[in-house]
Homo-oligomer: A and B are copies of this chain.
Amino acid sequence: MPKSDNIPAPAVRRLSLYLRQLEAFHAADHRTVSSRQLGEALSLSDAQVRKDFAYFGQFGHPGIGYRVPELIQRVRRILGTDKQSNVLLVGMGNLGRALVSFGGFAKRGFDVVAAFDRDPGVIGMKSPRPIAFSVQPLADLPQVVKEKSIRLGILAVPAPAAQAVADTMIAGGVRGILNFAPVTIQAGLEIAVASVDLGVHLEQLSFQLGTTVS
């Protein structure tokens, strides 16, 4: 595996875009695709597409381009989503409950298999679906991380509690945190942290309204 230090974060972000676009080509029965076609669909130059893939190896076939199913599989392997992995969630408030039953994670290779909260009124609550578990106290986290080989955790607690809970998750063995609290999480360099910015989606819609409606 290459070191992520060497690969610019935006190139990695574009991998997810390439994967979505490749899945769309696949659904439309395209068997091969050129860097130009892939670039055009995403409004990137073909040079940018080739440069991005070059970080990860040599994927094209001379005179053919990229084979769509093969490239999908290879991008998933690079992203680590070619197999399902277990993730946990901390904070079973409204957002946590919504995320536990959110279908989009499983489709992308992630099963929420455990949830934690500090509120005794919530502990013991059954998960709605699709995977059965009961909400556990945070003290159980390290054991569950070990038993279920969990590396990723979703942080869905209120902002004031977020850093302390993140520290507990990391001490318990979680290596990557998806943060929904609107605060910056401090973590060691060996810990991956991503924060969800839902505002960006409204911003994009706002632009479309400004230009399509008048």
Contacts and interface: CB of A to CB of B under 8 A. Distances in A.
Interface of A: 1-4, 7-13, 15-17, 19-20, 42-45, 48, 78-81, 85, 87, 93-95, 97-99, 101-105, 107-110, 151-152, 154, 159, 175-178, 182, 189-190, 192, 194, 196-214
Contact of A44 (B10, B12, B200, B204): B10
B210 A80 contact: yes
Nearest to A208: B192
A207 B10 contact: no
B182 A213 contact: no
A121 to B, nearest CB: 16
B109 A203 contact: yes
B99 A198 contact: yes
B108 A203 contact: yes
Contact of A93 (B12, B98, B152): B98
Nearest to A107: B199
A207 B194 CA distance: 12
B16 A203 contact: yes
10 nearest A-B residue pairs (beta carbon): A108-B199, A8-B43, A95-B98, A192-B208, A4-B211, A10-B43, A94-B98, A176-B205, A80-B206, A94-B97
A209 B117 CA distance: 25
A27 to B, nearest CB: 12
Nearest to A199: B108
